[in-house]
Structure 1
């Protein structure tokens, strides 16, 4: 009965005209940025954070969430029609989806991709409904020591699941933690690393940093490449798949949803990893694995279900524990802080309408995406013909206006430029920005809970290993670090990410 009552509260909140409007805006915008390579959800959410000041907490979070899972839909369109994934998680879809398009079955591939995403999104929403309250109730039993250990585990997992070198990812986490120390000390009020600048008294602005790293840096990187791929829109064909196609896709959708729901909760690229894992599983289970890469419809259904489920279940640790699973969730945490909300288990009890309204909006948003995406597939494909040289000046202008509107301070614009150039340099060095942003967001939480635990234990650091839950979490973090250090495991990890 509690589940039913919570769902009724959520749908009554999400179904208000204002929230429906922002849900629609978020899903349409998310689809558009998923279609356009270089304008992913991380960049878009970073750019829109300054403009959420004027919105209420519920509509702003509903819109930002719609952008995230909407981008998973949009990425599949260009993957199928252009062999150019709009989102990294749609890269697997391109393997068979583009081959289907070349065979005149683009309509079938697009329909299965949309149907798989909707089915997975619906099931993942119910996973959130069932497991979020359980995690929130468990989290209420956590003390400062347990939260400290949980944050450490999350940061270590983000390193283990990051692409490329684990050493670079660890360095980026440490860099983010160091920058989070800038500002006045919370306990003593003494300035730390401010270099006498009053603008840094409250720390480095999260919005400025995220727009620089995910907006400006991405623009600089995208300007290195020119040209667009050829569009296969002349052979889209009928959208309705055959019964045989539907029967063949039922099991891959179910397996992809299960994989995505599980991996989405883990810190790191849950949607990306789940789509690759789903494709690998479907290929191994198939009686004719040679069909994969040649237009196998299962190679579209499974990964699309997995990446959408992974995108939605990544909200579980953010909503229940205040622990972001990826860079987008870190920005969602920033959006909640902007609105005066402390992320964590108390959100469910103190703001139930916001909590359940956001969850209900996910199902409504997925329904909107299913209804809108297929009729508008031609429009999304034509977006690819817009030259990037036309897009990036508008994005830069939009970014500068948004950042300046925060405090009306020119210093923020200088900080935007510095963070953008720094982000670009780090990208060129092969360093991912996601672990950095997680370190920056979780740094204050890590420091706060460590200090509280030390105060309650009268300065005895043994409190972190004498409490069972805390000790268990730290043991898991240590095992993850040791696993990455073993040559065989490190080699296998690198091979997986290369593939």
Structure 2
């Protein structure tokens, strides 16, 4: 079956009435979530997971994906207008976007972000359609040893590219792996780390841990924030960039799209690192680097293109290999498992409507965002005025309802509260929770592939080194860990984030 036939299958799902409806719901929700400081797509998707139980799998993923890349659009709005990043990947947009707004060019900045994001989203969707099936075909040649080694590489990449201390990131991954072992051993049938609690026999619920670590922890961290923010009251005009602006932004959009498309594939990369890297690149290449931080249009065009491209190409390893490259993709894998779909190369063959419907919906969703985002600026400004004292109690109630609805008992709410407190503690200790979620999702699969490989190798662990591809993947993981542990590279790693945060 050729690419055109596959896209036709996807179009029948994505451009159906229900497909377009859920894509619209997703991108509008995502934009609102991006506009509201403090939420972000991870917390929002975690809270909405229980609501997808009654949906068809393809419609659920279309909506959740729309929330993810829609939040990249919304984050730019609040960054530009009020100098508050609604989403972590929009931090660098504050630097020049808000300066443009202060100079009376808010419309131009918003249009630049929208145009750059749409172009990047379109290009990355084409990349997904072209390369994902090829990667899925290659993945069919992987055996248990290769999959285990690939997951090791993925976790090492998440450690190397995580914020803050690599030691803390490694510790968080190990905690996630241990939490993933809780429950019934599928091989022996014995109970592991359940403390004789029947509610843990099936393992720790994914919805409770994800909503607790991100949703409830964010509520606790944000409880002391002020409710009302200062909003720009001047009328926003000039939504169409001039020819001079287009000439300056076009190269930045192209470079940002390339940077984001590549970094989105890497474990731990994602939209945040892509936007910081793009900003640093534009500043290095500029003939007038002193203009950055004072309203340079390239400082908006590059990062906004990069974060949108990265948010979409991160779907490639998730769809084709079952490997999440960031916390949102871990949630996507959790959503697929909730619908009894095993992530990996077989998805494109066994469920083409889901695989190709999701890809086609991305282009359609980006088109919706381009058409709706700028005319709805007034609405998003009003959303920014929602007091935290009203917003966060609603989040807690929705989270508790979602945790209870999974198994119909109160134990899920207790888990939710426990992981919420744990998430707040991790934040106080400057430990990023995203690696923990990656370890939790990959842990059971890693154990399964490890056991299969050991059976094939008659109990000889050397099988991971004697199979060429497995050895290459493990060697790459060791090299990455070694390189990022070196002091010089460690400083560069930290500067990639600090540059955007200053």
TM tier relative to shorter chain: over 0.9
Secondary structure of the residue that 1:145 maps to in structure 2? helix
Deviation string 1:315-372 (CA, Å, 9 cap, x unpaired) is 0000000000000000000000000100000000111111000000000000000011
Deviation string 1:388-429 (CA, Å, 9 cap, x unpaired) is 011111111111111111111111111111111111111111
* Residue 238 of structure 1, CA deviation: 2.0
Deviation string 1:141-187 (CA, Å, 9 cap, x unpaired) is 00000000000000000000000011000000000001111001010
* Alpha-carbon distance in structure 2 between the residues aligned to 1:281 and 1:85: 20
* Alpha-carbon distance in structure 1 between the residues aligned to 2:275 and 2:228: 25
* Alpha-carbon distance in structure 2 between the residues aligned to 1:375 and 1:2: 38
Equivalent pair of 1:327/1:435 in contact (CA under 8 Å): yes
* Alpha-carbon distance in structure 2 between the residues aligned to 1:233 and 1:337: 46
Deviation string 1:2-23 (CA, Å, 9 cap, x unpaired) is 1222112211210111111100
* Residue 227 of structure 1, CA deviation: 4.8
Trace 1:213-232 onto structure 2 (pairs within 5 A): 213-232=213-232
Deviation string 1:170-219 (CA, Å, 9 cap, x unpaired) is 00000000111100101010000111011100100011110100110011
Secondary structure of the residue that 2:293 maps to in structure 1? coil
Equivalent pair of 1:275/1:304 in contact (CA under 8 Å): yes
Equivalent pair of 2:58/2:357 in contact (CA under 8 Å): yes
* Residue 485 of structure 1, CA deviation: 2.2
1:159 paired to 2:159: yes
* Residue 223 of structure 1, CA deviation: 1.0
Equivalent pair of 2:228/2:386 in contact (CA under 8 Å): no
Q: Which residue of 1 aligns with 2:136?
A: 136
Q: Which residue of 2 aligns with 1:90?
A: 90
Secondary structure of the residue that 2:196 maps to in structure 1? coil
* Alpha-carbon distance in structure 2 between the residues aligned to 1:216 and 1:110: 31
Q: Which residue of 1 aligns with 2:69?
A: 69
Equivalent pair of 1:42/1:328 in contact (CA under 8 Å): yes
Equivalent pair of 1:41/1:68 in contact (CA under 8 Å): yes
Of 341-350 and 408-417, deviating more is: 408-417
Equivalent pair of 1:78/1:86 in contact (CA under 8 Å): yes
Of 472-481 and 484-493, deviating more is: 484-493
**Please, what is the CA RMSD of the aligned residues?**
1.0
* Residue 235 of structure 1, CA deviation: 4.2
* Residue 228 of structure 1, CA deviation: 4.5
* Residue 491 of structure 1, CA deviation: 2.3
* Alpha-carbon distance in structure 1 between the residues aligned to 2:359 and 2:331: 17
Query: Residues 304 and 58 of structure 1: is their aligned pair in 2 closer, same or farther, counting only changes over 3 Å?
Result: same
Trace 1:413-428 onto structure 2 (pairs within 5 A): 413-428=413-428
* Alpha-carbon distance in structure 1 between the residues aligned to 2:423 and 2:112: 37
TM-score (normalised: structure 2): 0.98
Task: Give structure 1 regions of 4+ aligned residues with deviation exceeding 6 angstroms.
Answer: none
Equivalent pair of 1:233/1:378 in contact (CA under 8 Å): no
* Alpha-carbon distance in structure 2 between the residues aligned to 1:374 and 1:490: 40
Trace 1:340-351 onto structure 2 (pairs within 5 A): 340-351=340-351
Deviation string 1:48-70 (CA, Å, 9 cap, x unpaired) is 11111111101100000000000
Equivalent pair of 1:105/1:235 in contact (CA under 8 Å): no
1:446 paired to 2:439: no
Equivalent pair of 1:149/1:470 in contact (CA under 8 Å): yes
Q: Which residue of 2 aligns with 1:437?
A: 437
* Alpha-carbon distance in structure 2 between the residues aligned to 1:225 and 1:167: 30
* Residue 496 of structure 1, CA deviation: 2.7
* Residue 259 of structure 1, CA deviation: 0.4
Q: Which residue of 2 aligns with 1:204?
A: 204
Q: Which residue of 1 aligns with 2:492?
A: 492
Trace 1:255-404 onto structure 2 (pairs within 5 A): 255-404=255-404
* Residue 497 of structure 1, CA deviation: 2.6
Q: Which residue of 2 aligns with 1:47?
A: 47
* Alpha-carbon distance in structure 1 between the residues aligned to 2:158 and 2:292: 30
Deviation string 1:288-327 (CA, Å, 9 cap, x unpaired) is 1111111111111111100000000000000000000000
Equivalent pair of 1:81/1:233 in contact (CA under 8 Å): no
Aligned residues: 499
Equivalent pair of 1:27/1:67 in contact (CA under 8 Å): yes
Secondary structure of the residue that 1:369 maps to in structure 2? helix
* Alpha-carbon distance in structure 1 between the residues aligned to 2:424 and 2:5: 48
Equivalent pair of 1:233/1:381 in contact (CA under 8 Å): no
TM-score (normalised: structure 1): 0.99
1:22 paired to 2:11: no
* Alpha-carbon distance in structure 2 between the residues aligned to 1:72 and 1:492: 25
* Alpha-carbon distance in structure 2 between the residues aligned to 1:232 and 1:282: 28
* Alpha-carbon distance in structure 1 between the residues aligned to 2:254 and 2:228: 35
Equivalent pair of 1:106/1:235 in contact (CA under 8 Å): no
* Alpha-carbon distance in structure 1 between the residues aligned to 2:489 and 2:284: 21
Q: Which residue of 2 aligns with 1:238?
A: 238
